[in-house]
Structure 1
């Protein structure tokens, strides 16, 4: 019986194609985050201009996706324990596709809100489940690069938000939503058979159990610090993610076209960021890569405060664009590294990390917007808060590392 079980696991591992799995994971992040979230930004003026909804209602519809993302991140662990991962992932990608089709019909505010909420839920579930499902079958030495390739889908979505959507809008607003649905459906089909059908066998031995018992406190303390640091990193990303274009266009007087040029640079950074950060993690280790990421982002967020001219600001745009998706594979790898002896706990920990990021990102987005409006356009304050959050994340990580020695 033991021989048959071992043989079955070996056949299951052999049947999983790493390249196809990576493509499936990248397709999931592209559909669930890249398109479902970021494609709405360039659609917003068109929705208002076509009188589908007024400006305030359209803004609430954008927030619906963020709220759904948080709900999906919270629900993902429960779904993973009740249903096969491949089934959940296929269903979530299909739900995003259906939501795009539904949004082509502006039946009512409630109709649109519910479908934007549904697409956010799907994005949260896909973010939590897709990469860990693939990485569980990847050798540790290749996990950094593989996770980077998976999350490149987010960067591609950011880039597509500035290229594909404007092209589709020439055909009409409803046609744009249907075009996004077609792209989502194609990627869902591509990913359909790329998911592994079985969970890898978890190691079970007396030695492992003893290690778990002896070192239980340290991983818990480290994970809490990691969740907090990841949330603070979300705060650090918000100034560029929301205010970069407006800062260049109005704050520096470069106009809308000037702001759009810096958003293109942000998107280019987002496309390569996960691959670069994944490669860095493979070379330096996830713990060191995380500290490097914090340090580089501190400099990049602070650069607009120094007023050094366009070249440093361009570098700042590229770097922060790169880390918008690029921080994700580093933190995921760090979670898995800290729970290497407890693989069953990895998905739950990643869900909590994603929730921390989602909550802090939403709080920062609304909080900084409120401060910005109350101060009459204080851009410097926004970047200063972002840099301070990243400094706090780095200090917290260093303190925990020092206590662990």
Structure 2
């Protein structure tokens, strides 16, 4: 009675690989997928990119670096992130392999910052760390979202994007504990911490070509399953919508980075002698954790572009609060409003890329991430000279808020236009 019915001759064919059924059954659970990707983003972004923020004061205090040099190191990292994201489409490697290589590289590069004492070597390391973090982010997103889509476990996607927030909070607190030992010890400590986090999830990203091949038999179904829009656009229309997504996704990169880079300076000027300015960055990181979790609970049928527009408006409001109310309440609430939708923006943008490109979304994800990285490079380059000229960061911050509002309007128009076009196509 336990023998399965033999419905077709192919069911007993020896042409089916023996590893086929066990490979599919052995796929990690949605929870394991989401937690593994969360840890990857905490390591690659929370440490690989953002550990520099809490360690910079220690480097300045120890005399190893001046403020101008710190700015160049930050720019080197942003430039590396941009180049890494831009080259994602050219990488023809299994996502799991890229993720594992990214974890190992992050450990090595982070430790290396504490083992050398030469500015241009630091600059090269920070550039490489930026590229590695972009590759790891894009391919971890593709790997995780694809597996969650196959299981119909869309709600777990939010857990993935809490990783950067967790990394920011951990590095902020850990840097305080290491302050007495200096910046070099901090970098090495962060590298060891990355290794400790990477070991338990290492095997999760083992190659699973058989499972990928089996899911491909469903044709376009895997791509559609991760879609927040039942009407997948035609290829020409997908290209046009993808181009607009890339352009509009660059705006929050410009918007948030000005605040994230100069908030301590602005807050210290507004609140002299207060301990609060050092807490606004951890507030930012902590706020994005519930933001990502709540974003994942949004029904999949809701339009990603409309959700992105709402997130842009939240960040614009957070920036404006710090300008209009330059006090503890204004900066604190502003940091929360900027941080809350930070990774939700990433989640919705990556979902939209999968809606447009399905299993081939890594290229579009990379171009969108490159646009975001370009916004991060341009933001400080515009803000610093403008602030020096007028004696205030307010004009640059208003510019950032205005571009976020413009991006929200653009996304809303794009959503209305594409939805109307899809309905018109259906009615024919």
Q: TM-score, normalised by structure 1?
A: 0.88
Structure 2 residue 289 is the aligned partner of structure 1 residue 271 = yes
Measured at CA, do residues 204 and 68 of structure 1 come closer, stay the same or move farther in structure 2, by a change above 3 Å? same
Counterpart CA distance in 1 for 2:216 and 2:22 is: 16
Counterpart in the other structure of 1:400: 414
Q: Is the 8 A contact 1:34 1:157 kept in 2?
A: yes
- State the SS of the aligned residue for 1:51: coil
- State the SS of the aligned residue for 1:135: helix
Structure 2 residue 105 is the aligned partner of structure 1 residue 91 = no
Counterpart CA distance in 1 for 2:347 and 2:34 is: 13
Q: CA deviation at 1:389?
A: 0.8
- State the SS of the aligned residue for 2:147: coil
Counterpart CA distance in 1 for 2:353 and 2:20 is: 25
Q: Is the 8 A contact 1:65 1:118 kept in 2?
A: yes
Counterpart in the other structure of 2:201: 191
Counterpart in the other structure of 2:37: 25
Q: CA deviation at 1:300?
A: 2.5
Q: Is the 8 A contact 2:23 2:208 kept in 1?
A: yes
Counterpart CA distance in 1 for 2:287 and 2:337 is: 6
Structure 2 residue 155 is the aligned partner of structure 1 residue 145 = yes
Structure 2 residue 363 is the aligned partner of structure 1 residue 324 = no
RMSD between superposed Cα atoms in Å: 2.9
Structure 2 portions without partners, runs of 5+ = 1-9, 223-229, 421-428
Cα offsets for 1:299-347 (capped at 9, x unmatched)? 22222343386545432211201223331111111111233xxx34211
Q: CA deviation at 1:254?
A: 4.4
Counterpart in the other structure of 1:174: 184
Measured at CA, do residues 253 and 15 of structure 1 come closer, stay the same or move farther in structure 2, by a change above 3 Å? same
- 1:112 pairs, out of 117, 122, 140, with 122
Which of structures 1 and 2 has the bigger CA Rg? 2
Q: TM-score, normalised by structure 2?
A: 0.84
- For residues 158-307 of structure 1, the aligned pairs below 5 Å read 158-195=168-205, 197-198=207-208, 200=212, 201-202=215-216, 215-250=234-269, 252-280=270-298, 282=300, 284-307=302-325
Structure 2 residue 23 is the aligned partner of structure 1 residue 12 = yes
Structure 1 portions without partners, runs of 5+ = none
Counterpart CA distance in 2 for 1:163 and 1:206 is: 45
Q: Is the 8 A contact 2:95 2:142 kept in 1?
A: no
Q: CA deviation at 1:403?
A: 2.4
Q: Is the 8 A contact 2:39 2:197 kept in 1?
A: yes
Q: Is the 8 A contact 2:260 2:281 kept in 1?
A: no
Counterpart CA distance in 2 for 1:46 and 1:310 is: 24
Aligned length: 397
